[in-house]
Amino acid sequence: MNNINITSLDNGIKVVSEYLPYVQSFSLGFWFETGSRNENPETNGISHFLEHMFFKGTSKRSARRIADEIEATGGYLNAFTSKEHTCIYGRGLAKNMGKTFNVIADMITDPALKETEIKREKGVILDELFDIEDSPEEVIFDRFESSIYAGHELAMPIIGTEQNINKFNSEMIREHIRKNYGKNNFMIVASGNFEHSQLVKLAEKNFRAEFPAISRSKSKPDLYLPKYHYFSKETQQAHVIIGKTTAGFNDAGRTPVALLSQILGEGSSSRIFQRVREKNGMTYQINTFLNSFSDTSAFGVYYSTGEKTVEKVYNLILDELSKIKSKPVPEKELQKAKECIKGNILFSLENTTSRMMRIANSLFYHGRIKPVEETIADIDSVTVPLLMERAVEELNETAFTTVLISQKNINLKIAA
């Protein structure tokens, strides 16, 4: 980690860089530790809305000029909002780092937030919302998390609701910025071919004003009661998620759960994929997932199939979950799962944007930059007995929540 440097400016902003002399480019991210988890039912969706508004102009640059300045150098800008983070980032050739930095800094420190642009963007975001609602394979994950995190901020969808989107205005957005965007939850992180001193000078030049600190608390989700939820929708296929909450990023128990997920349903050689799709030919889409936050994760199995086979697929999945609890996973199969996860981690290191994002997430979730070697060692340390212990704990059928989206209700409730 000798090529990674961290500097805290006098105004409290943290600047982090990774020097990669063998590339000709950079990836630069401006990160805020805020997202839909920091909203309430009345403001749900405002973080995502603000992400869009960052691109709609400043007092010095129009939205068109922002795009033109970056694309004229061969670079690009993008952004995302999650439940815990907001990131505006750019990528370009190393010689254009200064230009990209100046543009993004202007976007986040001086957003115009004109009511005419807000009104126009409402149409864009509502169209995005309706696209999600029209895609059962997307919206079912929102429905699942709204169930397992019911009553908590994590239950709310990142994009918000139609009612909220329609009522957002510049005053509400500025108030959200005041409460949620400060020096103690902001980081500038970059990876590529540039010197750390260059990034620090750019930060000092563009962030001369004193950044206020913000004060917030984070509540952990309560233990949930398993539920069955049916949502009626005109679809050709039935869409199902079976799952529960489990260990988050800050819990060492997440690693064996990730390996369980890999063995059960990640990849075409996984148990559930082979049993349901290859052997029985009952579904095209089927996989496990582990969607993690700082203190919890959403773990489960998703599939889509015809209404006539939805119950049979459901039972096949439950059978595979039961099998992995009752018979030790062969050492060879565990080793294959480890290599798959390690391979994905190492492949991602060949991309500067992935490296930049890994550094930021490590600092947010662990308070330090966790070496890749340490992550690999964590994976390698999982033994068959530990995996089986975790399987018995996690794969209790009576603890699962089931979400179904289809034209008609089908009895998929697990008997207690």
H helix or E strand, kind and range, residue 230 = strand 228-232
Asked if residues 118 and 168 have their Cβ atoms less than 8 Å apart, the reply is yes
Give the span between the Cα atoms of 359 and 357, in whole angstroms: 5
Residue 175 has phi, psi (to 5 degrees) of -65, -40
Give the span between the Cα atoms of 298 and 34, in whole angstroms: 19
For helices 63-71 and 97-109, the axis angle rounded to 10 degrees is: 160
Which residues on neighbouring strands pair with residue 152, listed in sequence order? none
CA 202 to chain centre: 28
CA 198 to chain centre: 30
Write down the residue that tokens 């080793």 correspond to. Answer: 335
**What residue ranges in 234-317 does DSSP mark as E strands?**
238-246, 286-292, 297-305
Query: 204 an active-site residue?
Result: no
Mind giving me the DSSP string for 16-38?
EEEE-TT-SEEEEEEEES-SGGG
**Angle, CA of 330, 316 and 389, to the nearest 5°:** 40
Asked if residues 248 and 292 have their Cβ atoms less than 8 Å apart, the reply is yes
Give the span between the Cα atoms of 231 and 223, in whole angstroms: 23
H helix or E strand, kind and range, residue 312 = helix 310-326
Q: Which of 135, 133, 124 is nearest to 166 (CA)?
A: 124
- The catalytic residue among 18, 33, 39, 51 is 51
Catalytic sites, residue numbers: 51
